DNA sequence: GGCATGATGTTATCGATGTCAACTTCGAAT
DNA sequence: ATTCGAAGTTGACATCGATAACATCATGCC
């Protein structure tokens, strides 16, 4: 009971508790719904207590996003072990976005680009992105031509674009299924389905 | 001087003026920087005057976004008249996003999906999206296979994903140039660059 | 032409948010 | 045991979106 016998004044694990609370808000109502005061309220602490652990609201969001990027990387790595590693990773990308829409939106929020100074966040993000590039490397020349750079760019753009279009409500969720099927129908190295 | 000899009490053109002000804010600081009060302040009117013309803040944003979608449609149509209409439209898509980042982000904000009840907004958005589909139709079977649905989905996802990755600061702006070049190198109907 | 009436703006206010400054409490090292 | 810094608290401020009640003007009707 190291967490429960706290002295009611000193929480002793406020930082992770705030991150968890912020994350719950994120899951419930998207990035807009995350608030410093509300997170503090849920943890049972005064609003300003948060400033002992985070410089400001954005720093809290950055911590949440860093967690997200770590899970994202794990999901991508897992998807890679499918029969078709290239399509498997793409499907994992899309599945992650649809399964954790709030987190995905936060992770790719322009707000987070401004938070690039946070080493924890950039490390987690870079690690996840490195997986994408590595996969493109291993699969190049892929279905889009020989250049590794181009393969990464195009494949990444495709899965990312589809994810966002669905999340933003432009395309229906079914579109994701059709997309994943199309990916599987065109294994890396295969030409266009001319027949 | 029909606009300047207003009676200082009745503005007589508040609605378009507020839209213009909101748009200026959007260009300056992105969607987050748009505020009802600030827009009213710039127009020289009291904050609550806005509620005579917009149900709430989201309605104002929807009006701005509708304008954006009309310009977006015009840009896409113009791009279509390039030597390669398919790649031309794709380039126009990306160029619009990079030229008007705040507007683009607003247009594809999940906030706007919730505002789908606005007929002006949905009409403008649908018109722009119809252009994409029509182009895919005219170019199918394109570089990705015969299905029109799939061609639309894949091409749209590609240009949209790249645009967002650049806007969100994940990819450098130069990536857009390389991307557009790759599009041109693979005209519709062409197979993969196996050589 | 004078006047009622509705559209358009205003003032006052509310609840909520992020943030700062000053104060309090507690745990641990000397 | 005392002290000292870390962790939380109270109180306050500026700002925001939104509502209610009031003021002003422009216009159509007689």
A-chain residues near B192 (CB < 8 A): 141, 143-145, 191-192
Rounded distance in angstroms from the CA atom of residue B10 to the C1' atom of nucleotide D26: 10
Which of A141, A149, A156 shows the shortest C-beta gap to B161?
A156
Task: List B142's β-bridge partners, or say none.
Answer: B145
> Are residues B145 and A182, on separate chains, in Cβ contact within 8 Å?
yes
Q: Which of B72, B69, B63 is nearest to B34 (CA)?
A: B63
Residue with nearest Cα to nucleotide C16 C1': A37
Model pLDDT for residues A128-152, shown as the tens digit of each residue: 999 999 998 887 666 666 688 888 9
Question: What integer best gives the mean pLDDT of chain A?
Answer: 89
Across the interface, whether the CB atoms of A145 and B186 are under 8 A apart is answered yes
Within this chain, do residues B79 and B156 fall inside the same structural domain, yes or no?
Answer: yes
At residue B12, φ and ψ (nearest 5 deg) are: 75, -10
- A90 with A2, same domain: the answer is no
Q: At what angle do helices A57-79 and A14-29 cross, to 10 degrees?
A: 70
Q: What is the pLDDT of residue A107?
A: 98
At A8 the pLDDT is 59
Q: What is the CATH number of the domain that holds A144?
A: 1.10.357.10
The tens-digit pLDDT sequence of chain B (195 residues) is 333 444 555 677 899 999 999 999 999 999 999 999 999 999 999 999 999 999 999 999 999 999 999 999 999 999 999 999 999 999 999 999 999 999 999 999 988 888 888 999 999 999 999 999 999 888 766 666 668 888 899 999 999 999 999 999 999 999 999 999 888 876 444 444 333
Cβ atoms B194, A191 nearer than 8 A = yes
What are the structure tokens assigned to A169, written together? Answer: 């409500």
Write out pLDDT tens, residues A22-31. 999 999 999 9
Q: How far is the CA of A25 from the C1' of D5 (A)?
A: 33
> Is A126 in the same domain as A172?
yes
- Domain residues for B109? 62-185
Q: Which residues pair with B145 in a beta bridge?
A: B142
Q: How many domains does chain B have?
A: 2
Span between the terminal Cα atoms of chain B, in Å: 66
Please tell me if residue A158 touches chain B, with a CB cutoff of 8 Å: yes
Q: How far is CA B159 from CA A152, A153, A160, B145, in A?
A: 14, 11, 10, 17
Instruction: Output the six-digit token pair for B40.
Output: 């009213």
Q: Which residue of A has its CA nearest to B106?
A: A168
Q: B67 with B42, same domain?
A: no
- Closest residue by Cα to the C1' atom of nucleotide C25? A9
Q: Residue B101: CB partners within 8 Å, gap ≥ 6?
A: B30, B167
By the 8 A CB rule, do A135 and A86 touch? yes
Residues A99 and A168 in one domain: yes
What CATH number is given to the structural domain containing B29? 1.10.10
Please tell me whether residues A32 and A110 are part of one structural domain: no
User: Is A9 near strand C, with its CB below 7 A from some atom of it?
Assistant: yes
A144 with B192: Cβ contact below 8 A: yes
Do A22 and A79 have their domain in common? no
Whether A59 maps to a domain, the answer reads no
Contact across the interface for A157 and B154, Cβ inside 8 Å: no
**B37 lies in the same domain as B131:** no
Touching check for B157 and chain A: CB below 8 Å? yes
Is residue B194 in some structural domain?
no
* Residue B86 included in any domain: yes
Question: Over the stretch A39-79, which tens digit does the pLDDT of each residue have?
Answer: 999 999 999 999 999 999 999 999 999 999 999 999 999 99
DSSP per-residue letters across A121-172: HHHHHHHHHHHHHHHHHHH-SBTTBS-HHHHHHHHHHHHHHHHHHHHTTSS-
33-52 in chain A: CB under 8 A from chain B:
none
Same domain, B49 and B73: no
The pLDDT value given to residue B151:
87
Report the gap between the CA of A14 and the closest CA in chain B (Å).
29
């Amino acid at each position: 009971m190291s967490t429960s016998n706290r002295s009611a004044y000193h929480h002793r694990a406020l930082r992770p508790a705030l991150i968890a609370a912020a994350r719950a808000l994120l899951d419930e109502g998207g990035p807009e719904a995350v608030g410093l005061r509300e997170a503090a309220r849920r943890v049972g602490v005064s609003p300003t207590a948060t400033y002992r652990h985070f410089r400001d609201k954005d720093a809290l969001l950055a911590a949440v996003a860093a967690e997200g990027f770590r899970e994202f990387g794990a999901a991508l790595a897992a998807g890679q072990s499918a029969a078709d590693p290239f399509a498997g990773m793409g499907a994992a990308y899309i599945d992650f976005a649809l399964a954790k829409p709030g987190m995905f939106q936060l992770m790719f929020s322009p707000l987070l680009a401004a938070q690039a100074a946070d080493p924890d966040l950039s490390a987690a993000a870079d690690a996840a992105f490195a997986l994408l590039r590595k996969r493109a490397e291993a699969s190049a020349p892929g279905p889009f031509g020989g250049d590794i750079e181009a393969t990464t760019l195009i494949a990444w753009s495709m899965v990312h674009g589809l994810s966002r279009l669905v999340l933003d409500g432009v395309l229906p969720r079914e579109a994701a299924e059709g997309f994943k099927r199309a990916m599987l129908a065109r294994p890396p190295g295969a030409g266009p389905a001319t027949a």
